[in-house]
Amino acid sequence: MSLHDLIARIQPLDDAAMAEARSRQDQLTKPQGSLGRLEALSIRIAGIMARPRPKIRNKVITVMAGDHGVVAEGISAFPQEVTPQMVLNFLHGGAAINVLARHVAARVVVVDMGVAADLPDHPGLVKKKVAYGTANMAQGPAMSLSQAEQALLAGAQVVEQEIEKGLDILATGDMGIGNTTPSAAIAAALTARDPADIVGRGTGLDDAGVQRKVSVVRRALEVNQPNPHDALDVLAKVGGFEIAGLAGAILAAAGHRRPVMVDGFISTAAAMIAVGLAPAVRPYLFAAHRSQEQGHGIMLAWLGLDPLLDLDLRLGEGTGAALGISLAEAACKILDEMATFAEAAVAGKIA
C-alpha cells in the first residue's frame, strides 16, 4: 500500500451512527448530559466505528522505539544505551506500560523502528528497523524522504496485522532516548512557535540542559528549514523513526475506522504529522492526557484536542494512553449497557 492509498482510505465520521448514539444517550436513566464528556466520548466513537452502540474489547498499545543522532548534542539526561535496555524490559513485561496494559486488559505490541542496536529475536518484538537511529538533525536532515515514507508505511503495516488479530482501539506509545527533542522541533515547525515555548525537561534536564536543548532545536530548524505545509518534509528533516511509525499507525487505524488514543509529547508529535498528512484523521484522535512537558498544551491546541486526564505524566511508553483506553471503554459500556427509561420502566425523563 502506498502512502497516498493509506491517506485516501480515511473517511468522515458516520453521522447516522452518531445521531443514533446521541438519541440513546438522551434516553438513558440519567439527566441528559449528566455524564458529561463520557457521553461525548461514546458518541464520537460511534461515529468513528460507524456503530450506534460501539464495543471496545480488543485493545492494542503499540510502543514504537527508535534512536536519535541528535543525542550527540547532549540533550538527554540518559545515555542512548537505555533505549534497547527498555525495549527488553517491555518484552519481559516489567515496564510501567506493561503494568497499565495488564490493568486495562490491552496487549502491548513492541516495534523496533530504528533502535541503534541489534535486538534479539523475541515473539513479542516486531522488527521494522529503518536504520540504526536517525542522523543528527542539528547538522542536516534526520532521515531521507524515502526513509520517512518507509517508516510511515511500516507503522501502518503493524496496525494492519493487528487488525487481523482483533483491534477495536489503538493507543500510541514510544521509546527513544532523546526523542522529546525531535518532537519539540516538529511542534515548533508546525505551530510556528519559538522552541523556547515548547522545549521541556524531557527525562529530567536541569535549567542549563533545557537551554542547550532549545538552542539545538533552533539550530535544527535553521539548518533544515522544514516546510510547515509539508508534513512529510518536516518528518524527514527533524523527526524520528518511531514518530514516523506512530504517524503511520494512526493513519492505518483511522483508515479502518478505529479510534486512536494518543499518549503524551512524542505521540502527539506523531499525531501532528498524521494530521498534517491527512487532515481527515483529526476526528479519530483522542488526547489521553496533558503531559508535564511545557509545550504539550500548544500541540494539543494545534490539534484541537481536549485531554481526558491531567496527571503530570511525562514517561511516555503509552502510559497515559492506557488510562485513556479505560475511559473510552467505560464510555462505550455506559452507552451500550445502561438501561433507557423505557427499558427500566422508570417514570418520566429528567430533562
pLDDT in tens, 13-28: 999 999 999 999 999 9
**Per-residue model confidence (pLDDT) at position 349:** 56
Both 33 and 161 in one domain: the answer is no
Note whether 163 and 273 are same-domain residues. yes
- Residue 346's pLDDT band, with cuts at 50, 70 and 90, is confident
Give the integer Cα–Cα distance in Å for 272 and 270: 5
The CATH number covering residue 28 comes to 1.10.1610.10
Percent of the chain scored above 90 by pLDDT? 93
23 and 161 belong to one structural domain:
no
Q: Is residue 228 part of a domain?
A: yes
Could you tell me if 270 and 200 lie in one domain? yes
Q: Is residue 351 part of a domain?
A: no
Write down the pTM of the prediction. Answer: 0.97
Q: Is residue 32 a part of any domain in this protein? A: yes
Q: What is the pLDDT of residue 99?
A: 98
Give the residue numbers spanning the domain of 233: 59-328
42 and 95: one domain?
no
**pLDDT for res 204:** 81
Looking at the fold, whether 26 and 78 belong to one and the same domain comes out as no
- pLDDT bucket at 348, cuts 50 / 70 / 90: low
- Kindly report, residue by residue over 276-285, the tens digit of the pLDDT: 999 999 999 9
Catalytic entry in 317, 329, 337, 343: 317
Within this chain, do residues 152 and 288 fall inside the same structural domain, yes or no?
A: yes
Confidence of residue 350 (pLDDT cuts 50, 70, 90): low
Q: Is residue 69 part of a domain?
A: yes
Q: Is residue 349 part of a domain?
A: no
Same structural domain, 16 and 96 = no
The identity of residue 282, as a single letter, is R
Do 65 and 145 reside in the same domain of the chain? yes
Same domain, 128 and 41: no
Number of domains forming the structure of the chain: 2
C-alpha cell of residue 289: 492526557
Q: What are phi and psi of 65, to 5 degrees?
A: -120, 140
**Residue 222: active-site member:** no
316-334 pLDDT, tens digit each: 999 999 999 999 999 999 9
Distance CA(309)–CA(289), nearest Å, equals 4
Asked if residue 347 has pLDDT above 80, the reply is no
Residue 217, domain member (yes or no): yes
My answer on whether 85 and 50 are in the same domain is no
- Residues 50, 64: one domain? no
Q: What angle do CA 89, 95, 98 make, to 5 degrees?
A: 110
Reported as a single tens digit per residue, the pLDDT across 71-128 is: 999 988 899 999 999 999 999 999 999 999 999 999 999 999 999 999 999 999 999 9
Arithmetic mean of pLDDT over the chain: 96
Which pLDDT band, with edges at 50, 70 and 90, does 290 fall under? very high
Q: What is the CATH number of the domain that holds 203?
A: 3.40.50.10210
